[in-house]
Structure 1
Amino acid sequence: MADRHPLILSGLAHDVHAAAVVWGLQRHGLTPLWIRSWADPAMPPLSLHCDPQSGVRASGGPADAEIGSVWFRRPRNPDVFPHAHEADLPFLRNEWGRFTNNIHALAAKFTDALWVNHPAAAIDAENKLVQLHAAKRVGLPFPATLMSSDPVEIRRFVGAHRRVVYKPFQTHTWQDSASGKMFSTYARIVDADMLHDDASLRQCPGIYQQVVDKHHDVRVTIIGDHAFPIRLDTPAQGDFVDWRIGSLAETMRARPAELPSGFLDMLHRLMRELGIVFGCVDLAIDGDGNPHFLEVNQAGQFLFLEQAAPTMPILRAMCALLAQGRGDYSIDAMSDVSYAGYLASDEHGAWWETVRDGIKGPAGAIPGVSVE
């Protein structure tokens, strides 16, 4: 991959993961390009072509021969058009959205760069039921799950399994207008007494899952051929079973973990089934030490794990994957890169100065950034 450089697509200027990876790659002589969207002026415009003779091809953008890998991190559609009339904005946003859909659907066909992850596979893998269907195919154990807005089915499921967790499809955070307090939708145990209101259940579909009587959690960050399992211990939190609450409250403890023989092989098969090379897998470990698959976040956060368990070279692995543009990369080729090193660097200080003003919400959280 000599003279080929990574492209990072992340829509948030305060994405510390993108900033840390840029720093790590630059330390090894690479010149990564971080763009916010496909309309970013920092990148040559991307054009898609199709004709009866040669089929689909592309020019510009990630099709450039100098791009060796693309980190499809957390992209956003173009939203700001400085020279447009306000009445034209809906049309522009819609046109960019549809153009972007074509890019994502055919990304694998117009460049030989490594995608982390291929957009079409990444978008598909965001669907929880797609993940569970793939988990079944590779033999991973997981709890019985219902996705529904049907009060009858929801009550029947809770009645059959007794202890059931409710999860949103995506975490949502909001501020109470009266108290100013911030609230988030985390996984919690529900019972029949919470399910009397048909109108409420019909109004919002949810994920209902049989409770795993867990002893602790394990988060496995999979980066190409390498995997980094980390045990997460959190104190009891009443009806809430989500380790993220302990992380936010700084009561979570993390350390390297070991999984049963052959289990990591099944997780790598899951990744191949989903067509992705990077993902953060959440496992619930029961009292007998048996892991139960819950989900994989194909754009998950991982730096908080390295900060909690510094012996795990997760940032180094991500930089190596993008630098070498292959799943069977060598971590050893990417020396002297760590999250602690980035936090202590002048580059981190300079980056933080450019993003810190005005991005923190009332509770101190950075919008768009979670510990997922």
Structure 2
Amino acid sequence: MPTRPLILSALPHDIHAAAVRWALRANGVDALWCGSLADPALAPMSLQCDSENGLRMSGALDAAGIGAVWYRRPRDPDTFAHAHPGDAPFLRGEWGRFLRNVHALADEGGARLWINRPAAAAAAENKLLQLRAAHRCGLRFPATLVSHDPTEIRAFVRRHGRVVYKPFLTHTWQDADSGRMFSTYARIVEPAMLEDEASLRQCPGIYQVYVDKRCDLRVTAIGERFFPARLRSQHRDGFVDWRVRQAVQGLQAEPGELSGADQDKLRALMRELGLAFGCIDLAVDRDGQAHFLEVNQAGQFLFVEHLVPQLPLLRAMSAMLAQGCADYRLDDAAPLAYADYLASPKHAAWWAQASEGLKDRSPAAAGITLE
């Protein structure tokens, strides 16, 4: 019985899941897209363990059915059609704990590729764990402080001069009085930002020495292959956080270069973190030296192919899922591009339905969703 890839994403407007499923099906591979392992489209799961046979898993992740799992952006079930409303909190909690048990045992029940294994994916969200791994792999990276101690933060800024503040996760909210939208991106620390003691204590943050950049390098790691893209501003004024330019359509890109030594170190980093896929951000300084900033294990990559069509990212991801291995053969996948998907009737039909309720309903918007 042939195996099929499983895409786990609970976002109905996830263009990455839609495009990859389209590419897989165009290659004759019947991919399944579900919101989580609790999806009714999957067989019910069971875990059994006894002293004679040890642990056994059956159901949704049966080895005969699923060959590779793209653990993209799943969510636990939160609505239950046949349950009393008062039981919903209990059911949500039980499903969450059950799925944590299943995710923790991702290596059981057959040798399959996870992109990425749930435990590794969760661990890789820790910025300091990433930097510790980068240090072990010999990567260059800026000195970093994570703190809510005003004394430590001020001392760090005095010691290093130009410092960037970063939130742990980009957040967008609307001001109740003006109605204006605000988002948290990386920004240079100004003296006024360090004056309010209570403000610094109230919100922990990431403080990192600023790299005087020649450019940013976005490296999409898909299995054993690395696809670098050089990011720049069309306004030629540079940027601290390229996502701001992405949001205002001011970002430009071109094929990038990655030295053999840096590629070896990044490959070691991905293995140290246990990741089969990740979007790696590097800052290239004026001397051409690359500085590691972070890796997003569930990052966006279609916007890169949209800007740099020479990079076959959609083809590479679909090849890895279809073949179920990190050292996939790219030539075995049909040369389908993201532009082909955007021009297809399948995309038009899917987007007409998936974009309901979104403020920005332009097809390009989903392809460059901010992280």
For the pair 1:129 / 2:150, whether they are aligned, the reply is: no
**Which amino acid letter does the alignment assign opposite residue 297 of structure 1?**
N
1:360 aligns with 2:359: yes
Question: Mapping of 1:171-210 within 5 angstroms?
Answer: 171-210=170-209
Query: 1:359–1:83: structure 2 CA closer, same or farther, 3 Å change rule?
Result: farther
Provide the C-alpha distance between the structure 2 equivalents of 1:250 and 1:126, rounded to a whole number of angstroms.
Answer: 27
Which residue identity lines up with residue 331 of structure 1 in the other structure? L
Moved more, 173-182 or 212-221: 173-182
Report the CA distance between 1:237 and its aligned residue. Answer: 9.5
Letter in 2 for 1:183: F
C-alpha distance in 1, partners of 2:114/2:22? 20
1:213-362 aligned within 5 A: 213-234=212-233, 241-360=240-359
Indicate conservation of the 8 Å contact 2:282/2:294, yes or no: yes
Task: Give me the whole-angstrom Cα distance separating, in 1, the residues matched to 2:180 and 2:234.
Answer: 23
**Deviation per CA, 1:309-362, whole angstroms, max 9, x where unpaired?**
001000000000000001110111101311001001111011011112212269
SS in 1 for 2:75: coil
Shift of 1:205: 0.7
**1:63 & 1:160 partners in 2: Cα distance?**
55
The worse-fitting range, judged by mean Cα deviation, of 264-273 and 50-59 is 50-59
**2:72 equivalent in structure 1:** 73
CA deviations 1:130-179 (Å, max 9, x no partner) are: 10000000000000001111111111111111111000101111122233
Alignment length (residue pairs): 371
Indicate conservation of the 8 Å contact 1:169/1:207, yes or no.
yes
In 1, Cα distance between equivalents of 2:202 and 2:51: 48
Identity of aligned residues (%): 58
How far residue 193 of structure 1 moved from its aligned partner, in angstroms, is 2.5
| Aligned mates of 1:207, 1:4 — CA distance in 2 | 43
Aligned-CA RMSD value: 2.1
Residue of structure 1 equivalent to 2:93: 94
Q: Which amino acid aligns with 1:357?
A: E
Task: Tell me the equivalent position of 1:27.
Answer: 26
Quick check: 361-370 or 178-187, which moved more? 361-370
Inter-partner Cα distance in structure 2 for 1:287 and 1:132? 22
Question: Does the 8 Å contact 2:233/2:239 carry over to 1?
Answer: no
Gaps of 5+ in 1: none
SS at match of 1:109: coil
- Give distance in 1, aligned partners of 2:260 and 2:328: 23
